[in-house]
Amino acid sequence: MKSRSSLVIAVGAILVASPALAQTSRPATKPAAATNAWGEQAHVNAPLGKIRRFPGDGKGAYATGRYRNLFVEQLGKTEAETHAKIEQAFDRFFHGDGQEERVYFETGANANGTLAYVTDWANNDARSEGKSYGMMLAVQLGRKCEFDALWNWSKTHMQVTDPANPSFGYFAWSMSTDGTPRSIGAAPDGEEFYAMALYFAANRWGNGAGIYDYKAEADNILTAMRHRAAMTGSPPFRIHPDGPALVQPSAPWPSPNNRTAAAEAAKKGERWPPAWYATARQAAPVTAGPMVEESHNMVRFVPETNINTTDASYHLPHFYELWSRWGPAADRAFWAKAADVSRDLFVKVVGPKTALSPERSNFDGSPVIGRDGKPVEFGYDSWRTVSSWSVDWAWFGKDARQRELSDRNQRFLSSQGIKTFADRYTLDGQPLSDRHSAGMVAAAAVGGFAATPGPVSKAFLQELWDMPVPTGEQRYFDGMLYLMSMMHAGGEFRIVQPAQR
């Protein structure tokens, strides 16, 4: 859940209270066996015995312990050059100039130590996505102080502790930077990265006490994602029993740093805020359940039960493989199957010519129809999907179809102009934007892990290497994807193994 405009903040805030939004997705139905681009049946919601199985440890870094540095392989850079570039970017994002560079801000302390958040500078909020990404970057680079401060802020401010709130136990996906709520709903991509970062922290630093018993906290997140009971409540909701109620503004949340949204609307001759905003703010009861759809073995777009869709960019089979080994024992078979289901879903939902994924799809892989009556297309969430299947290939190397997906994706974007391609498209390749975004370029370059080595893959890596570190208004999402992509491509985003495997 992220965007270049404060509109998404507004949508996220009303998502859990708007029955109108339930109309944006069709109820999942049992599909006939679908044929994918290889002429195979893609059984994305079939019984365990019908899912394409990828047993064992594969042939990637999990099995070999070797992490490829694509900059060394294809651009002739050195390990030292790569590491220096990554460290410089981390220092700018976490400790650089507060107005133009930094997204990490410390804000006092409590009994558990320092508190810090990562902010979406343009939208003036802190998100579970960004907090968990920040923790992942910190644990990968051995920055324990930053890791603990981000986790402390997340536990203190973002985790819902009011039992009257149907999102009880989850992390609110968007908060003001002063710790007051903008949303009481949760976004599963945040929970997924929290859990994985915490397991890595346990393996790197060992477990502490309280909230710093990293493995126990990760186990709790995964258990809640699958087993938390459905809960119903009526607004107004609170994050904490003694905290302020979420009060929806009559217009999108004020964001003094974002100059993009209103300008884009004016350019298109559209109203800002959109006309539907006020009517969508309804005080209807909300029911939220698990973050996974049990019958399909896949992550949901949101845990609210009236929105029955998934988001391909939330599917992280390389994480699921690790959870099937390290997570709560009762759920390991579930996550093993989820990894295979996700691999099949990637194949099914992407465009046949472009390998671009939609921001949302139904659990059977069919399109979701949006508010405008058209299928949901490739958007900002979707930038991440190529990275997901490519890192899965790098870490586990189980699904050879991922090479064709990356080749198709990079070939299409290259044909659009590697320095000019749009950041939103229809799945068949019609541009929906006139912007070219650094974060999308960076994520596409990670496709080089699975792609066939050659001029196209090399061109994306060169573009990533030459890219200036994102600064200014849009530095949050572009910057996070830039730094993670640099670490992936540079072989410094790794599985942090337990002391005894």
DSSP state of 154: I
- DSSP state letters, 432-466: --S---HHHHHHHHHGGGTSPSSHHHHHHHHHHHH
Active site residue 372: no
User: Does 270 lie in the same domain as 122?
Assistant: yes
Last residue of a domain, one of 305, 335, 369: 305
User: Does 197 lie in the same domain as 118?
Assistant: yes
d(CA 113, CA 217): 17
d(CA 316, CA 139): 18
pLDDT at residue 258 in the model: 57
Which of 22-31, 45-54, 404-413: highest mean pLDDT?
A: 404-413
Q: Looking at the domain assignment, is residue 501 inside a domain?
A: no
State the alpha helices, DSSP H only, in 233-384: 260-268, 276-280, 317-326, 332-349
User: Does 323 lie in the same domain as 264?
Assistant: no
> What percentage of the chain reaches a pLDDT higher than 90?
79
pLDDT at residue 227 in the model: 98
User: Does 175 lie in the same domain as 158?
Assistant: yes
Query: Within its chain, how far is the Cα of 173 from the centroid?
Result: 11
Instruction: State pLDDT tens for residues 176-203.
Output: 999 999 998 999 999 999 999 999 999 9
**Per annotation, catalytic residue among 148, 304, 381, 407:** 381
Written as one letter, the residue type at 418 is I
Poorest-confidence range of 8-17, 86-95, 209-218, 325-334? 8-17
CATH number at residue 116: 1.50.10.10
Q: Are 121 and 473 in contact (CB under 8 A)?
A: yes
Exposed e or buried b per residue across 134-145, where buried means at least 16 C-beta atoms within 10 angstroms of its C-beta = bbbbbbbbebee
The H or E element that residue 405 is part of is: helix 401-415
Q: Looking at the domain assignment, is residue 62 inside a domain?
A: yes
pLDDT at residue 22 in the model: 30
Rg (CA), the chain: 21
User: Does 447 lie in the same domain as 325?
Assistant: yes
Q: Are 307 and 301 in contact (CB under 8 A)?
A: yes
Q: Looking at the domain assignment, is residue 448 inside a domain?
A: yes
Q: Are 151 and 135 in contact (CB under 8 A)?
A: yes
The H or E element that residue 483 is part of is: helix 475-489
φ/ψ of residue 27, rounded to 5: -60, 140
Instruction: State pLDDT tens for residues 399-431.
Output: 999 999 999 999 999 999 999 999 999 999 999
Q: Looking at the domain assignment, is residue 412 inside a domain?
A: yes
pLDDT at residue 11 in the model: 36
Q: CA angle at residue 43 from 41 to 45, to 5 degrees? A: 165
The residue among 212, 229, 247, 217 whose CA lies nearest residue 163 is 229
User: Does 390 lie in the same domain as 293?
Assistant: no
Q: Looking at the domain assignment, is residue 500 inside a domain?
A: no
Whether residue 37 is predicted with pLDDT greater than 60 in this model: the reply is: no
- The upper half-sphere exposure of residue 232, i.e. CA atoms within 13 Å in the direction of its Cβ, equals 4
d(CA 50, CA 367): 22
d(CA 222, CA 215): 11
**Per annotation, catalytic residue among 101, 120, 125, 129:** 129
User: Does 345 lie in the same domain as 397?
Assistant: yes
Q: Looking at the domain assignment, is residue 421 inside a domain?
A: yes
Domain count for the chain: 2
Instruction: State pLDDT tens for residues 427-481.
Output: 999 999 999 999 999 999 999 999 999 999 999 999 999 999 999 999 999 999 9
Active site residue 381: yes
Q: Looking at the domain assignment, is residue 227 inside a domain?
A: yes
The residue among 28, 54, 81, 78 whose CA lies nearest residue 324 is 54
Q: Are 122 and 476 in contact (CB under 8 A)?
A: yes
Largest Cα separation within the chain, whole Å, is 60
User: Does 319 lie in the same domain as 223?
Assistant: no
Written as one letter, the residue type at 496 is V
Last residue of a domain, one of 276, 305, 334: 305
DSSP E strands, 54-184: 104-110, 113-120, 125-127, 174-176
User: Does 252 lie in the same domain as 144?
Assistant: yes
Instruction: State pLDDT tens for residues 284-293.
Output: 899 999 999 9
Q: How confident is the model at residue 281 (pLDDT cuts 50, 70, 90)?
A: low
Q: Are 4 and 474 in contact (CB under 8 A)?
A: yes
- The mean pLDDT value of the chain amounts to 88
User: Does 452 lie in the same domain as 326?
Assistant: yes
Omega before 236 within 30 of 0, i.e. cis:
yes
- DSSP state letters, 74-90: HH---HHHHHHHHHHHH
Q: Are 85 and 78 in contact (CB under 8 A)?
A: no
Q: Looking at the domain assignment, is residue 164 inside a domain?
A: yes
Residues in a beta bridge with 181: 175
User: Does 345 lie in the same domain as 326?
Assistant: yes
Q: Beta-carbon neighbour count of residue 308 at 10 Å? A: 19
Domain hosting residue 55, numbered range: 34-102+309-495
d(CA 313, CA 489): 19
φ/ψ of residue 420, rounded to 5: -135, -5
What CA dihedral angle connects 10, 235, 116 and 131, to 10 degrees?
-60
Whether residue 17 is predicted with pLDDT greater than 50 in this model: the reply is: no
Whole-structure pTM value:
0.90
User: Does 78 lie in the same domain as 226?
Assistant: no
Last residue of a domain, one of 284, 305, 326: 305
